[in-house]
Structure 1
């Protein structure tokens, strides 16, 4: 079977294919991070060495994102995604199947480098498809990622509960995921689809130019980093906070992150409707306030159940910020430098995903040890509130997608330099 030639059908198939890529990536990443204790035990990684291993993955992912900024000048983001996503899946399998510390270090390095390229290329295509649709669909792709994360974390729980070896857990997932992404990759929609202009090896991608200057992109970069500081605070500290500070049982302490992920999925599923109705800036402002309230509730919670209410609000609030930050960067790049600037701008912004991830957990841990964990929860709250200062960066009324603000639907994927 070949991809459909009708432009509207090509967009629909491309949207489904990209959502599958987001879903698979969410599941694969969750399977890695939720089984870190088992990885540490399997390879005898010391407590002193483990932070270096964990930090290396986002650092190398940032390197991969930087490389993708330059790579998309030669090939399309679609080609990058199709090449690196199977490698990400196979790297996960290698993490669970290799036999030595040196080998797992190499597997994690490959995972980090390729996951940076994958994150960047997926969001490039998401922004491109949103422009082609003429309405907000970016949150839906990230909802697929959240759903994949829930599925991956659930499979990891099954593996831990059944005491399965890592390769037994990862093997079936990779055996399903690799053929799925290879098949669905044929349906991805990107610029140059009609004439194949940016798919030919060694030929510069049509219409790819310089990204927006960092000084102009800085507000969105800060928003991205602060959102991921908030997210990493929840993922790394919610269980410890509930158990050590709020006195919950060990079993109850596992619940907040699951609730957070479910609310993230819910918020992203309905978030596109809010953007279409009210525009991106009001949705981001609302999400920011809800997230800040969530951190405040967590910091002041008298018991574990109130604390879980705070983590629920955090999932509902933080979930809209990152997808809309990517969308805003794409719009700004197009408005300022034309369609050719969007892809490298997205790659540059994506680096701050990993900056926030690297900073968040050590920051809260250091503040918690030196001060108090309740007080530490107020720091990401303040950082997230900075988003309100930069809310206008998410677009004026003329830039809104949806309903009263929606421009006529266009098919601008696949028109070479005039496409994105």
Structure 2
């Protein structure tokens, strides 16, 4: 499992770097292909929409193939699609490359988090934030490479080709150690035998029946059962990505136009935000193990809301920077814990639950940027910051869906540290 954990962290790292290299070089892609300002939003919206389609398709795919197999082949496709996006010169080539990137990244995001949740269940303690810390580290390195490419006026193909040549073989080699936590039939029979040894035959059959019913109902996607239970987590995921997309799309403009910073200083908030997500996720698993997921998610929501509030009322650029710092520290814990909560909520069908939940990652991304932009133009950008603040605060209402704060390990999250002697 240690090898599987390290291999999956490599996958998260590669994905963070590749995604950052795409989104930070969107202006260069627009110039290279001659995409008009009116057509660019169509391209930008198409990628998350197709990613949602890819995530939904992964739900069906993992019924026939293991998530590790999906991840093993989706990651090279994402990397090669990035290279294709930087190597063409016709608009249709950009459309095909970005469309392929979107479909593959949806499958990649879903399968990565499926493996992360299953490994966390096998470990019996919180490790999910560590995987997302690797993603944040990859994002920082990818953004730094993009800055270097822009500074040295490198073409996109020259920038992307060496990276793809390194990370694709690395990802394929690491994929040899991916671990799928699926019990074979023989182990299932041994588990049933052990169950009968410890419990009465009637109690054992009753528990197995409940597990089969839960799995069957979830895999069929019963709206009255599965989506009703998953919906609070879907809303939390959407709110978190509305906040994240607000920072990534509007932090520079907000600092420069509203807080009157220099152009150079306006590039700093997103970097600060990414560094804080890395630091928060690096230590976040310890907080979950000690205080439980409910307390950590509530604390993250409060800190993030305070960050948005500080940005909205900041008198100057440096005060606004403190707000973006708090945003990174608060938002960073919510998304990984949302995936982990879905795994605990549907232990018999966590792969399907995560594939559906992952779609709302892209829903939040699609809503966040246009929402803040429209409110900023119609009202004010300071007032617009109150909307993601209130949405993040709404996470407090759904925090109970992340598990029991009083007894953290019984939901499959953490194993007890003591022996029950009677």
The TM-score, its normalising length taken from structure 2, stands at 0.88
1:387 aligns to 2:395 (yes or no): yes
How many residue pairs align between the two structures? 383
1:360 aligns to 2:373 (yes or no): no
Q: Map 1:268-307 to 2 at 5 A.
A: 268-307=281-320
CA distance in structure 2 between the aligned counterparts of 1:222 and 1:68, rounded to whole angstroms = 21
> Displaced runs of 4+ in structure 1, greater than 4 A?
192-197
In the TM superposition, residue 399 of structure 1 has moved relative to its aligned partner by: 5.8
Say whether the 8 Å CA contact 2:78–2:101 is kept in structure 1: yes
Say whether the 8 Å CA contact 1:276–1:401 is kept in structure 2: no
Match of 1:259 in 2: 272
Match of 1:240 in 2: 253
The answer for unaligned runs of 5 or more in structure 1 is 1-10, 198-206, 410-420
Q: Map 1:100-111 to 2 at 5 A.
A: 100-111=90-101
Against the structure 1 CA distance between its residues 18 and 158, is the aligned structure 2 distance closer, same or farther, given a 3 Å change threshold? Answer: same
Say whether the 8 Å CA contact 2:295–2:405 is kept in structure 1: no
Choose from 369, 372, 377 the match for 1:369: 377
CA distance in structure 2 between the aligned counterparts of 1:117 and 1:256, rounded to whole angstroms = 30
In the TM superposition, residue 308 of structure 1 has moved relative to its aligned partner by: 0.3
In the TM superposition, residue 398 of structure 1 has moved relative to its aligned partner by: 6.5
Q: Give the alignment's Cα RMSD to 1 decimal.
A: 1.8
In the TM superposition, residue 223 of structure 1 has moved relative to its aligned partner by: 0.2
Say whether the 8 Å CA contact 2:47–2:102 is kept in structure 1: yes
Q: Deviations over 1:120-179 (max 9, x none)?
A: 000000000000000000000000000000000000000000000000000011000100
Against the structure 1 CA distance between its residues 193 and 30, is the aligned structure 2 distance closer, same or farther, given a 3 Å change threshold? Answer: farther
Say whether the 8 Å CA contact 2:305–2:392 is kept in structure 1: yes
1:141 aligns to 2:154 (yes or no): no
CA distance in structure 1 between the aligned counterparts of 2:293 and 2:405, rounded to whole angstroms = 9
CA distance in structure 1 between the aligned counterparts of 2:182 and 2:250, rounded to whole angstroms = 44
In the TM superposition, residue 196 of structure 1 has moved relative to its aligned partner by: 12
CA distance in structure 1 between the aligned counterparts of 2:153 and 2:305, rounded to whole angstroms = 38
Against the structure 1 CA distance between its residues 59 and 185, is the aligned structure 2 distance closer, same or farther, given a 3 Å change threshold? Answer: same
Bigger RCO (CA 8 Å, 6+ sep): 1
CA distance in structure 2 between the aligned counterparts of 1:310 and 1:69, rounded to whole angstroms = 38
Match of 2:199 in 1: none
Match of 1:347 in 2: 355
The answer for unaligned runs of 5 or more in structure 2 is 188-214, 418-422
In the TM superposition, residue 215 of structure 1 has moved relative to its aligned partner by: 1.9
Against the structure 1 CA distance between its residues 175 and 273, is the aligned structure 2 distance closer, same or farther, given a 3 Å change threshold? Answer: same
CA distance in structure 2 between the aligned counterparts of 1:49 and 1:70, rounded to whole angstroms = 32
Match of 1:72 in 2: 62
Larger radius of gyration: 2
In the TM superposition, residue 263 of structure 1 has moved relative to its aligned partner by: 0.2
Say whether the 8 Å CA contact 2:119–2:181 is kept in structure 1: no
Say whether the 8 Å CA contact 1:60–1:113 is kept in structure 2: yes
